[in-house]
Structure 1
């Protein structure tokens, strides 16, 4: 099941039953306020229980006046100059209330209690890391299928991986000899000088070896060379490992998106973390 991406005016919206939501991925300045009733109508017509919106901070008041909550903020998100707000509007009271607040807090406390890494340890042979290429797409999709039963985007499809690779996503992988064992990506907005660090997957046999931190460091280096200023992630709030990975890499926690994303069959809350790569 894959969500649909549509364009309304000049704004991009992803929606579908996968996460039972509409997601305003990009708000064009001229589409406010007309996009607000459109999103409401879309959610009600399709029976979605949440609208999730990533919008410039100057649009925050308009969304809050339309019953949105501000769930996270990243300063200097656009070209290091303008903040972004992650907004949520709920059409179901049960979805709006965190069902595992103690787990969210425990994972966050564990992450924020870690000391930042001074440097990422090198990989031990025969492990090696490089940017993934189009010919790696089948192995990449196979690893994603192994790690994630379902996912918000069709990363199980080699053609999707090749298409995004050719347009705006950098994938880095770690190989054990010829076997791909870990993978992550940076989804770049070069005009806005920001990138989402996402799609982390490690073969279960190779976990707890710091591979995610190594991949994150390589993604940051590559993104920084391309002029990316702000790196961010939307990490599973119930996952100690991913929150610790970003905290140890000196990311700052920004907020929690309640029951935001369906992963492996369940709606999960997500934590937003960010880092200035040019600091």
Structure 2
């Protein structure tokens, strides 16, 4: 994670990309060439950005493509754009495109009735970090961030990420988080880090965690929730469709998760 002109940028070989996470106070016209320089110097295949539409012109002029949108993402008012710039042309090609589209159709056709069992879910604290890291290590072969490290989990808690978990017999069996930005011009949360032990799947735990986190984050002033979900995963896409999220688009070959770089779907929802 680095700062460029006030923007927060994450980059690395695992995802083979530069990710503009928060443009902050940066001047987009000055930031774009610096992102391109960084990507070219490191030989990355993609630059990925999440920005408000009002600052998008310099990105679009530089050849960035709108891969997805999220209505009212910034401060519950301004549309957010997820842009991709492919420095490696092959990076844009999706071998599994037909499967991604099948999953998307499946999510759209799913009954949206939801079960609610809030008493099975609780907030997690730093005391849970070690057991949380072990659960994530069991579920994911790889992940964009080191969530199998207890110290990383505790650091994210300090930075505003809210974690929820489900226990059985005193042991965590499912987790999820809301990665919050409480700044006045954002006030959004990425609903992420969903993980259920393989032997505990099929119980609707992701839906329970999502509903619990939405209520908790609304109390804390979050206006909009969104997610970047694996396009190959029927379960997660169905979960967000059931929870009333709108589909925003697909990010091509965007994220290294479960051992491979995969395409991701954007879903979003107003919490007000």
Shorter-chain TM-score: what band?
over 0.9
Offset at 1:30? 3.9
**Quick check: 1:15–1:21 contact (8 Å CA) kept in 2?**
yes
* Aligned mate of 1:34, from 21, 30, 37: 30
Aligned positions, number: 270
Offset at 1:79? 1.3
Residues 74-223 of structure 1 mapped to structure 2, 5 A cutoff: 74-117=70-113, 119-122=114-117, 128-191=120-183, 192-223=186-217
Quote the Cα distance in structure 1 between the aligned partners of 2:143 and 2:209. 20
Offset at 1:128? 3.0
* 4+ residue runs over 4 A deviation: none
**Quick check: 2:5–2:25 contact (8 Å CA) kept in 1?**
no
For structure 2, the 5+ residue unaligned runs are none
**Quick check: 2:164–2:177 contact (8 Å CA) kept in 1?**
yes
* Aligned mate of 2:270, from 264, 272, 276: 276
Once the two structures are overlaid, the 10-residue window that deviates more, 76-85 or 64-73, is 76-85
**Per-residue CA distance 1:92-151 (angstroms, 9 max, x = gap):** 11111221111011000000101212x42427xxx9321001110000000000000111
Offset at 1:33? 0.9
**Quick check: 2:4–2:26 contact (8 Å CA) kept in 1?**
no
| TM-score calculated relative to the size of structure 2 | 0.96
**Per-residue CA distance 1:240-276 (angstroms, 9 max, x = gap):** 1100000010100000000000112211000000011
For the aligned residue pairs, the C-alpha RMSD in angstroms reads: 1.2
Quote the Cα distance in structure 2 between the aligned partners of 1:121 and 1:54. 32
* Aligned mate of 1:257, from 233, 251, 254: 251
Quote the Cα distance in structure 2 between the aligned partners of 1:143 and 1:29. 37
Secondary structure of 1:33's counterpart equals helix
Offset at 1:28? 2.8
For structure 1, the 5+ residue unaligned runs are none
Offset at 1:31? 2.3
| TM-score calculated relative to the size of structure 1 | 0.94
Offset at 1:29? 4.3
